[in-house]
């Protein structure tokens, strides 16, 4: 029951959540789950390929539902806001580099730390 509720909570709250975000969300819907159980279940979900773990220099570890595609992130240095984007052109360039070394890109992600100018 906890597993389904935690996944539903992740979907409800959106992406790039901390374990603490999900823990608070679970408490708000009346769950009595512990933070350590949230961490354990997130690890299980990650192993099962249901969620992905992102490690940002600022903002720490965040979780998002697995999308199956390569996407990257702009991370606001001041607010911690995270914006997703897809860099297909850059992916093509990475593919050429990988091919030069006799391999291919399985997946890539960029974490770009920004200051908003407008």
Distance CA 52, CA 35 (A): 18
Tell me: does residue 12 bind Zn ion (CB under 5 A): no
Shortest-Cβ-distance residue relative to Zn ion: 84
Among residues 44, 84, 86, 92, which is the contact residue for Zn ion, using CB under 5 A?
84
Tell me: does residue 81 bind Zn ion (CB under 5 A): no
Residues 40-69 that bind Zn ion (CB under 5 A): 64
User: Please, what is the minimum distance in Å from the beta carbon of residue 85 to Zn ion?
Assistant: 9
Q: Angle at which helices 2-13 and 35-47 pack, to 10 degrees? A: 80
105 contact partners, CB below 8 Å, separation of at least 6: 91, 94, 95, 98
User: Please, what is the minimum distance in Å from the beta carbon of residue 99 to Zn ion?
Assistant: 26
Facing residues of 55 across strands? 61
Q: Which residues bind Zn ion (CB under 5 A)?
A: 64, 84
């Amino acid at each position: 029951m906890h597993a389904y509720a935690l996944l539903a909570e992740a979907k409800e709250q959106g992406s790039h959540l901390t374990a603490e975000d999900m823990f608070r969300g679970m408490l708000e819907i009346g769950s009595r789950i512990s933070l350590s159980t949230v961490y354990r279940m997130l690890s299980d979900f990650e192993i099962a390929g249901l969620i992905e773990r992102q490690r940002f220099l600022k903002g720490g570890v965040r979780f998002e539902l697995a999308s199956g595609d390569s996407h990257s992130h702009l991370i606001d240095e001041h607010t911690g806001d995270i914006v997703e984007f897809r860099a297909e052109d850059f992916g093509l360039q990475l593919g050429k580099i990988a091919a030069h070394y006799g391999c291919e890109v399985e997946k890539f992600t960029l974490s770009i730390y920004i200051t908003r100018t407008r």
